[in-house]
Amino acid sequence: MNAVAEQPRCHHCHRVLRSAKSIALGYGPTCARKIRRAAVDLRDYQAHQIASARELIEDGGILPLRSVVFLVVSTDGTEIHRTAPAACNCKAGLKGTRCYHQLAARMLLAA
Ligand SMILES: [Zn+2]
Ligand SMILES: [Zn+2]
């Protein structure tokens, strides 16, 4: 019915995506670049967590839910976590550990 609503949109700026690459990524080229370059405090994170957070974003495994809350697909794809920049309901997050899900949320919010 509404053709406009069915067009794939950038998760960041909500513009309609046209290239197959952008659609697969879920972000337009400008937003993808902004996210990669986002100035995020990485001091509390290890290199492998930073790599995992970037991979999560590029795989489209983290989607905005509302304001600062994101939905994140777990590594094995069986669970969905709710993640904010300083909280996450995955096992590590509930223990107070800074998981890479939170880092990915920070990267997206900083972009
Ligand atoms: Zn965008
Ligand atoms: Zn987490």
What does DSSP assign to residue 88? E
**pLDDT of the residue at 41:** 86
Please give the Cα distance from 71 to 62 (Å, whole number).
6
Q: How far does residue 80's CA lie from ligand 2's centre (Å)?
A: 10
In this structure, the answer to whether residues 18 and 49 fall within a common structural domain is no
49 shares its domain with 67: yes
User: How far is residue 46's CA from residue 37's CA, in Å, rounded to a whole number?
Assistant: 17
User: Looking at the structure, do residues 31 and 49 belong to the same domain, yes or no?
Assistant: no
Sequential DSSP letters for 44-78: TS-HHHHHHHHHHHHTT-EEEEETTEEEEE-TTSS
pLDDT value of position 89: 96
Q: Are residues 111 and 34 in contact, defined by beta-carbon separation less than 8 angstroms?
A: yes
Residues 24 and 57 placed together within one structural domain of the fold = no
Task: Check whether residue 13 and residue 26 sit in a common domain.
Answer: yes
pLDDT score of 93: 95
Segments forming the whole domain that contains residue 93: 42-111
CA 6–ligand 1 middle distance (angstroms): 16
Point out the ligand nearest to the CA of residue 15: 1
What are the C-alpha distances in Å from 2 to residues 10, 27, 100? 18, 22, 37
The ligand with the least distance to the CA atom of 12 is 1
Q: Using a cut of 0.75, tell me whether the model's pTM lies above it.
A: yes
Say whether both 109 and 72 belong to one domain. yes
* Number of independent structural domains in the chain: 2
106 shares a domain with 52: yes
Task: Identify the pLDDT of residue 5.
Answer: 57
| Ligand located closest to 86 CA | 2
Q: Are residues 71 and 102 in the same domain?
A: yes
Predicted pLDDT at 106: 95
Do 46 and 7 fall into the same domain?
Answer: no
Average pLDDT along the chain, 111 residues, taken 10 residues at a time:
72 93 92 91 91 92 92 90 96 94 95 88
